A = this chain, B = another copy of it.
Amino acid sequence: MENKKILLSENEMPTQWYNLAADLPNPLRPPLTADGTPITPDTMAPIFPMNLIEQEVSTQRWIDIPKPILGFLRSWRPTPLKRASALETHLDTPARIYYKDESVSPPGSHKPNTAVAQAWYNKEFGIENLTTETGAGQWGSALGYACGLVGIKCKVYMVRISFEQKPFRKVLMRIWGAHCIPSPSQDTQAGRDILKKMPDTPGSLGIAISEAIEEAVSDTSGKTRYALGSVLNHVMLHQSIIGLETRAQLKKVGIEKPDIIIGCAGGGSNFAGLAFPFAAEKIDGADITIKPVEPKACPTLTRGEFIYDYGDVAKTTPLLPMYSLGHTFVPPGIHAGGLRYHGMAPLVSQAVVDGLFEPESLDQLECYDAALTWARTEGSVPAPETTHAIAATIREALKAREEGKEKDIVFCYSGHGLLDLSAYETYLDGQLVESTLPEDDLQKSISDVKDNPRVE
């Protein structure tokens, strides 16, 4: 019997992160201030600790993972690479399907890979409090978990509608000792201003970001900083451990080079984590198809433009060089909350411009169909975000069958769906409708940013 699971021992875990910025065919553009001036590390210092800012701007190829971070990561890493043999049989495909199971971490996703690193670097820099925002709660719970491990305080501004409607991730944060409050709140000027104007607002990620950053920069003791769970270069760096482990695991079963790499992409972090080490091989000439998969309702890479744009609606962040649907774009309320982002990580965006990746967008219903096929063959229940990677994988496996070609397909199983079962219930009840792209809104949000600085 062939093994379902390809395991690494803890001693085989990578001890360095891989930085794609060192190998991109065209160098990454710097972030800009609103007037078009490149951001300096000092400008970022009130928001992030300097040791993370150094990683943010680094072009060094390999960066050592500090021993204490390795210790925390070993709580759940190395994660298994698994063969989806039951799905292969069901699809009657000659393709071999492997998936990197990032759902085994205590918060249930890939997010703690960067959360423990960020918490540790902040503590090392003397920071005692981290603030962040969260939508459905994946990132907030991961950072809460990490801060608990490392021993610093964590305050999470959670979008109010999610705070009220999705209580479970909030409970997780409390279990791990984090302080989670609904946003907008009375704790910040930004929150108070909004509440005065709109006392019944459901909140938004943009508002929550503004509150979390305000609290960090206004602590005059200098002991508070802000943490972001995706998009930024240092986040992509920390996630590269996913792909590095995967590469070692594939070699264990004699696969020197996979044919297809797939990951769902919202801000880009789980996709980048798996894909970047393979992108390096592609830059070196290897023939690998690498696909970020996004929802048709929020098609950043497939319909957006590569421009300088803000990371949030309120324009509190610097301008980042990235694919964007325009920072005023509000995607429909699809269940994969982690994929509802108007922008995309600059490193992923630049690699798309450079022709390294082949983005694809999928319908929500196709993704849930794929998830049900998955659960009834492989057994586990994927997060709504992860269903996009599964659906794209099934497409490729069926294509391999049509072509009669053996292929090695690897995708990132970014998280489990055990806290998203109400979405599945809606689907099983036949109530899940396709979330169509609001074309008029998209045209407007893209036109809203037409005067932003252009990338060359």
- Interface residues of chain A, those whose CB is within 8 Å of chain B, are 1, 3-5, 7, 9-11, 67, 70-71, 74-76, 86, 104, 106, 108, 145, 148-149, 167-168, 171-172, 174-177, 372, 375-376, 378-381, 418-419, 421-422, 424-425, 428
Contacts and interface: CB of A to CB of B under 8 A. Distances in A.
Contacts of A177: 376
B7 A175 contact: no
Contact of A376 (B1, B75, B148, B424): B148
A236 to B, nearest CB: 24
B174 A1 contact: no
A171 B428 CA distance: 8
Contacts of A379: 75-76, 106, 145, 149
B10 A172 contact: no
Contact of A106 (B4, B108, B381, B425): B381
Contact of A176 (B145, B176, B376): B376
B4 A168 contact: no
A3 B7 contact: no
Nearest to A148: B376
A148 B377 CA distance: 8
B7 A7 contact: yes
Given A4-B75, A76-B379, A375-B175, A418 B421 contact: no
Copy number in the complex reads 2
A177 B428 CA distance: 10
A380 B174 CA distance: 13
Contacts of A145: 379
A1 B74 contact: yes
Q: Please name the 7 residue pairs, one residue from A and one from B, whose CB atoms are nearest each other, closest first.
A: A106-B379, A171-B421, A168-B421, A418-B418, A171-B425, A106-B380, A3-B10
A74 B149 CA distance: 32
Given A1-B10, A168-B421, 19 more contacts: A1-B70, A3-B9, A3-B10, A3-B74, A75-B86, A75-B378, A86-B149, A104-B104, A106-B375, A106-B379, A167-B421, A167-B422, A167-B425, A171-B421, A172-B381, A172-B421, A175-B381, A177-B376, A418-B418
Contacts of A378: 75
Report which residue of A3, A106, A177, A378 has the largest number of chain B beta carbons within 10 angstroms of its beta carbon.
Answer: A106
Contacts of A10: 1, 3-5
Contacts of A172: 381, 421
18 contacts: A1-B10, A4-B10, A4-B75, A5-B10, A5-B74, A7-B9, A75-B378, A75-B379, A106-B379, A167-B421, A167-B425, A171-B428, A172-B381, A172-B421, A174-B425, A175-B375, A175-B424, A176-B375
Contacts of A3: 9-11, 74
Nearest to A106: B379
A248 to B, nearest CB: 15
A73 to B, nearest CB: 10
A260 to B, nearest CB: 24
Nearest to A10: B3
Contacts of A375: 106, 175-176
Nearest to A375: B175
Contact of A174 (B9, B86, B428): B428
A452 B343 CA distance: 71
Contacts of A74: 1, 3-5
A7 B104 CA distance: 15
A119 to B, nearest CB: 13
A424 B167 CA distance: 11
A140 to B, nearest CB: 14
A106 B419 CA distance: 14
A424 B171 contact: yes
Contacts of A106: 375, 379-381
A85 to B, nearest CB: 9
B428 A175 contact: yes
A75 B3 CA distance: 9
A282 B177 CA distance: 41
Contacts of A376: 148, 175-177
A135 B226 CA distance: 44
Contacts of A167: 421-422, 425
